[in-house]
Structure 1
Amino acid sequence: MIKKYLPYLLAALVFFVALAMLRPPEQTQVAVAAVDLPAGHILTEGDLVMKGVPADLLPPEGAITDPSQAVGQALRIDRSAGDLILTAHLGEKPVTLQPDERAVAIQVSDSAGLAGIIRPGDRVGVTAVLTDGDYTVQGVFSKATVENLRVLYIQPSFQAEDPAEAAGRIITPDPQTGIAVQRQRSKEGVVVLAVPAKAQAVVYDFQSSGIEATTAVRLVNAVELLSALDQADNVKLSLYLMPDEAQPMNTSGLWLPELVIRQMTPTPTPTPLGFAAGQ
């Protein structure tokens, strides 16, 4: 009797197993961006929608299952429509410009941009490194130009998650899926600085360099100065980090060839023709 119904029982078993395998994976309702959202944006209810995401694709922690967890907080990084919003993306206070400030973006390399360890709110100075355009005189001139500028933004792909990770691979939520992945930090990036709109003095303090010359001062608009230096083909910009209540740093600038000291070999003095040997 059992043998008679065994094929039917096995068929039913296979059917239920196949049905279980075809069943969609369990999903969790999590918050995603309803529209494109920039870094620093304060989230509102209209910025978020709930979306079902397979539970096994979510990061171990950080997914937002209740919009109230995110409303009223600022985004640390840009989010595109449909991107997951994680708790790791929240909490950075929005940075705003003062009435007497303007935002200026500059391109920096890894070494010139402090390896990406700077953060919004840090104070930095900018050094311009100029390569002489005259090929008959090869040299580099370096001058600290503008100081005490506030960092507004640093490109996420350039920013180091932690100073200890500045030179290597770092683990961070993927911008599109929110899933924790390993990525290589970019060696170049854009940094946005808050620059005073009024004219600033660029001081050439020759006396501090041991040069007997009158100190020279150039009044420049730092917005125009940084924009011009950033676009010049023979200039590279380098940032340096400043402490709180930093003392002003005035220099004469450095012309690199002046650091080179060459040992001079005396030139032999020719013998006058009238005193030549045998005369």
Structure 2
Amino acid sequence: MRPTPPAAPLLLAAAADLPAGHVLAAADLVRVPVPAAVAPAGALGPADDGAVLGARLTSAVRSGELLTDARLGGPGLLVGAPAGQVALAVPVGGATGALVRAGDAVDVLAPPAAPAWDAGGSVDGIAAAGAAVVVARGAVVLDVPAAAGGTGLLPAGGGTPGVVVLAVARGEAAEVAAVTATGGSLVLALLPPAAPP
């Protein structure tokens, strides 16, 4: 008599197509049996319900797609990132935040200081404030959390500062933080997709 093979472990999968930024609820999940030999690294099972429910997706998932830790905000954001990268939440202008999605590559710029008026207040007296400074190159957008009253990923209103989570080189993180520590808001310059090898 042939022995009965062990039952495949249950893993969590999306019950429907879900957009990036979606906050997971029990109705969004189904449990599917998946043989351990074909389960992806970081696959989430019913034992992970506490960490999954209420978590935000960092990218869209298709109906039936298995969930892994790399799809959720939190420690999984840096899964697969090059060594020396750190995750950093930075404030950006509302219009800037509307341009980016998780996975985009961006340069991070610190805008110049506001122009100074001369004592007479004339337009001709505006002093040049200088050019924007690039404080991080080739950063990757990890997450664009929803703001209160927003539409999912974007801040409410066009000009309200929002927050974007970026993967930046550890050496650049201090420069980015120095700008934000003084109350400055950053600008993200969206880079074109990398050319295929």
Provide the TM-score with structure 2 as the length reference. Answer: 0.51
- 1:81-96 matches, within 5 Å, as 95-96=78-79
**Is 2:26 the counterpart of 1:31?**
yes
Root-mean-square deviation (Å): 4.1
CA offset at residue 157 of structure 1?
Answer: 3.4
Give deviations 1:187-234, integer Å, cap 9, x for gaps.
Answer: 43211111112xxxxxxxxxxxxxxxxxxxxxxx3111100011224x
Instruction: Report which structure shows greater RCO (CA 8 Å, sep ≥6).
Output: 2
Structure 1 residue runs of 4 or more that deviate by more than 6 Å after TM superposition = none
Gaps of 5+ in 1: 1-29, 34-40, 50-63, 79-92, 159-168, 173-182, 198-220, 247-279
Contact 2:155 2:162 in 1 (8 A): no
Contact 2:90 2:165 in 1 (8 A): yes
Q: Structure 1's 128 and 118: CA in aligned 2 closer, same or farther, altered over 3 A? A: same
Gaps of 5+ in 2: 1-24, 29-41, 51-62, 119-125
Counterpart Cα distance in 1 of 2:70 and 2:169: 25
Structure (1 or 2) with the larger CA radius of gyration: 1
CA offset at residue 111 of structure 1?
Answer: 2.1
- 1:1-279 matches, within 5 Å, as 31=26, 43-48=44-49, 72-73=67-68, 95-96=78-79, 97-113=81-97, 115=98, 117-131=99-113, 138-145=127-134, 146-157=136-147, 170=151, 185-187=155-157, 188-197=161-170, 221-233=171-183, 235-245=184-194
Contact 2:115 2:129 in 1 (8 A): no
Q: Structure 1's 231 and 133: CA in aligned 2 closer, same or farther, altered over 3 A? A: farther
Identity of aligned residues (%): 23
Local SS of the residue matching 2:179: helix
Q: Structure 1's 48 and 196: CA in aligned 2 closer, same or farther, altered over 3 A? A: closer
Counterpart Cα distance in 2 of 1:237 and 1:223: 13
Identify the residue that residue 165 of structure 1 maps to in structure 2.
none
Give deviations 1:53-111, integer Å, cap 9, x for gaps.
Answer: xxxxxxxxxxx9xxxx5764458566xxxxxxxxxxxxxx9552332211221101112
Work out the number of aligned pairs and report it: 133
Counterpart Cα distance in 2 of 1:42 and 1:135: 58
